[in-house]
Amino acid sequence: MTLRELQYLVALATHRNFRRAAEACLVSQPTLSTQISKLEDELGVLLLERDRRKVMLTAAGHDAVERAQRILREVDEMKEAARHAGTVEAGTLRLGIFPTLGPYLLPYLVPQIRDRYPQLKLLLFEEKSDTLLARLDKGALDAAFLALPVQDDRLVSAFLFREPFLMAVPADHPLAAQGSVTLEDLRAHTLMLLEEGHCLRNQALEVCQLSGAQETTEFRATSLETLRQMVIAGMGATLLPALAVNSTGAQAENIRLLRFKEDEPSREIGLVWRRTSPMGFFFRQIADICRQAMQDEEKLLPA
């Protein structure tokens, strides 16, 4: 069994077609087909169901693909460790971040990283949390900024900071004159939330469950800026994380941002990477830079 055979198997599982898999692997179709047959002979089991139009994995095939992906990922990590041994700071770092954090954290963090590691090539990917986790698992990302906790024993996380939520309401909203609110105050109100797939939506839903507030069912936003503009337009109330509030500059005339008096809802932000990654020590340094950046810039509202 060779790594090349495993690569061919993973390519077939991805493309479900011998021709496309062969093109992706830069080999001829007969070569790929022969290598897969050799792998099946060695394992003593059929991995694929073949017909003229598509390829389907057998149960044994699904298991073999998962194991092959893990093996190939560990080989890539071995190569990465060797390539960056002693020169991590001059290599490439692929960082992921989710959309309700990226535009507000990165402007403060990236300059700090570049100042500390001027030779580091930083590649940034903004995706929803589920996609970031999938890319981490496949080795397509080195690390990612995510909301904690992340329930996966294969991952390691470093806590960075706690980000409180504020209540954003139109100027004529019944709560606007209070200056601050409690969770109990939310009981009689509805909140506009983000669409499915955003981790902030799940966090806001938890606040709704705690307070007894309801979600507005007529509208779901695709971004925090859309939510903010809807509040400004008088369409309803929402929750905004502190970094997003601070990044918008002067407060618009017809929006009020209210702190919570007690039991302040918040989210915890962390840096997450694979437990098997050889760059763990470097990620902890990046985490320290992030913590310091938040303290120096005072971008979070005080706890």
**pLDDT, tens digit (0-9, with 9 covering 90-100), for 114-130:** 999 988 889 999 999 99
Pick the CATH number of 99-159+272-297 from 3.40.50.1950, 3.40.190.10, 1.20.120.450, 3.90.400.10: 3.40.190.10
Tell me: cis bond preceding 149? Omega within 30 of 0 counts.
yes
Q: pLDDT band at 106, cuts 50/70/90?
A: very high
Q: What pLDDT sits at residue 298?
A: 61
**Fold for the domain defined by 162-266:** D-Maltodextrin-Binding Protein; domain 2 (3.40.190)
Handedness of CA 77, 83, 85, 90 (dihedral sign): negative
Q: What pLDDT sits at residue 302?
A: 46
- Residue 282: C-alpha distances to residues 117, 234, 266 (Å): 11, 46, 28
More confident residue, 4 or 79: 4
Closest Cα partner for 164 from 280, 63, 269? 269
Structure tokens, 66: 């998962």
- Residue 191: C-alpha distances to residues 207, 211, 263, 265 (Å): 10, 11, 18, 14
pTM of the model: 0.69
What's the mean pLDDT in 149-172? 91
**Fold for the domain defined by 3-84:** Arc Repressor Mutant, subunit A (1.10.10)
Could you give the residue range(s) of every CATH 1.10.10.10 domain in the chain? 3-84
- Angle (deg, nearest 10), helices 18-25 and 29-43: 100
Report the residue count for the chain: 303
Residues contacting residue 21 through CB under 8 Å, at least 6 positions apart = 8, 11, 12, 14, 15, 32
Mean pLDDT of the chain: 85
Structure tokens, 290: 């992030």
Could you give the residue range(s) of every CATH 3.40.190.10 domain in the chain? 99-159+272-297, 162-266
Q: What percent of the chain has pLDDT over 70?
A: 89
Q: What pLDDT sits at residue 144?
A: 97
What's the mean pLDDT in 14-43? 90
d(CA 164, CA 168): 13
For residue 66, the one-letter residue type is E
More confident residue, 211 or 285: 285
226 pLDDT higher than 50? yes
Query: Tokens 């971008």 — which residue?
Result: 299
More confident residue, 251 or 182: 182
Q: What pLDDT sits at residue 286?
A: 94
Which region among 28-32, 86-90, 122-126, 272-276 has the lowest average model confidence (pLDDT)? 86-90
214 pLDDT higher than 90? no
What's the mean pLDDT in 49-77? 86
